Chain A
């Protein structure tokens, strides 16, 4: 059996929750994770005693042990692996593998951060060892990270395809419109194309409003076997397809085309496992660290032709009144972005599939796709969830 050959629908997400989100000065990242974990277990109708696998990442190197201790758990299996913003999506597949191998049965997956309160999220990124490839051959040139990498992608896209700047702004505006329908979103209020294009340039061609927010916040969800999931409090949300791919760290000098970052192959593998096609997807959650990242993902995922994303998103197509709604929470651009957004894509997808989204609920919500990269188009994860197995 190859690693992509998990049976579709044999595992399910049974509980989800985010913690307090936005500016949360009185809590640590661990306390936010604890708060989210408790709420996710209540959502599932489970207790801490049911959890025997812990998958977590934070800025702490030993995150899963820290969370296990805080929750008073003695898990049989833990995983603290970190590949950037998609890590909790990767943990879904790790948890499936662990459950399949009999190493655990109920997996708690979590992330938390207080980057807004700490002020630790500098545009420069964390300090790099000056002997590393990045430290020797990137950092001396003053590359802003991660934004510089995505600004370079945007420059490439604009040059190759003639993509106009207002296409980037469309992504930010649609995100704000969704956030205005989400009571939990941190950044609300009107935002126009002109507002985005008048915001200060950070790394040309990307402007401040092309960038995700910096917030505090945490999240958690619970994954278990489908047969166990059916007896729990909420309708299970099944893992229909999942795939990952991995490439570089921060020195992508051997990536031939920065507009072809192995997303298509990853998504295809997830669709093959799910036995679904792109036309079957009703709910789309794409990691929106930067507006250009959404355009790039839409093309590479195959939702529009290569080079056509600028045209595709025009006229509010991604927003609440558009024909291709995405990132219904408001996304990293307007709902919140505590450093790593992967878990929040999953939380929103699950809520849409359970029809819990109130004003922002999509009318047809049977199958959802979450797509997240790690670091700077360094890794990819595509997760397809569904409720009608």
Chain B
């Protein structure tokens, strides 16, 4: 597939440590040294207490599916031959949420509350994107895509 068609992130000074860590296959979020709170997306200061003493915390890379959708129409040329694909919001075990794709499984296998772990999409010359895949065990009782109670 042609990754050059994918709309890719462009880092700023504040977010560059996140993308640099991603290139090393490490997922990091910001933690404020002053008030101890976490924030995502990254900012140049803590938006809770305004402190500039924000540090980077390495995450376990694990989380649960908060919610998701399955796209049958592509949002861009890159996704055109990947439909249907899953876009999800993940609650990381460390406490923040992020948007992602859930890959390496059928969309039908994805459900709310499912356990996931980070995996990495490397593209030469472009930022490494964090994606997620389902963890094999512990499927939740939540409904699956398209299923009705």
Contacts and interface: CB of A to CB of B under 8 A. Distances in A.
Nearest to A151: B69
A136 B143 contact: no
Contacts, number: 129
Best-surrounded residue of A141, A156, A200 (most CB of chain B within 10 A): A141
B84 interface: yes
Contact of B75 (A124, A137, A162, A164): A124
Interface residues of B, number: 44
A155 interface: yes
Contact of A253 (B78, B97, B146): B97
A14 interface: no
Interface in B63-117: 66-76, 78-79, 82, 84-85, 87, 89, 96-101, 107, 111-112
A142 B142 CA distance: 24
Contacts of A97: none
Nearest to B148: A164
B8 interface: yes
A140 B69 contact: no
Which of B75, B96, B107 has the most CB atoms of chain A within a 10 A radius of its CB? B75
Secondary structure type dominating chain B contacts = loop
B64 to A, nearest CB: 12
B1 interface: no
Contacts of A277: none
B23 interface: no
Contact of B72 (A128, A153, A203): A203
Contacts of B78: 142
B41 A253 contact: yes
Contacts of A232: none
A130 B87 contact: no
A9 to B, nearest CB: 40
B7 interface: yes
A132 B78 CA distance: 20
A2 to B, nearest CB: 25
B131 to A, nearest CB: 8
A46 interface: no
Interface of A: 123-124, 128, 130-131, 133, 135-145, 148, 151-153, 155-156, 158-159, 162, 164-165, 200-206, 251, 253-254, 258
18 contacts: A123-B75, A131-B10, A135-B7, A135-B9, A136-B15, A142-B85, A152-B87, A155-B69, A156-B67, A159-B112, A201-B84, A203-B73, A204-B71, A204-B107, A205-B69, A205-B145, A253-B41, A253-B99
Given A128-B7, A137-B98, 8 more contacts: A130-B10, A136-B9, A140-B7, A141-B99, A151-B69, A152-B87, A253-B40, A258-B67
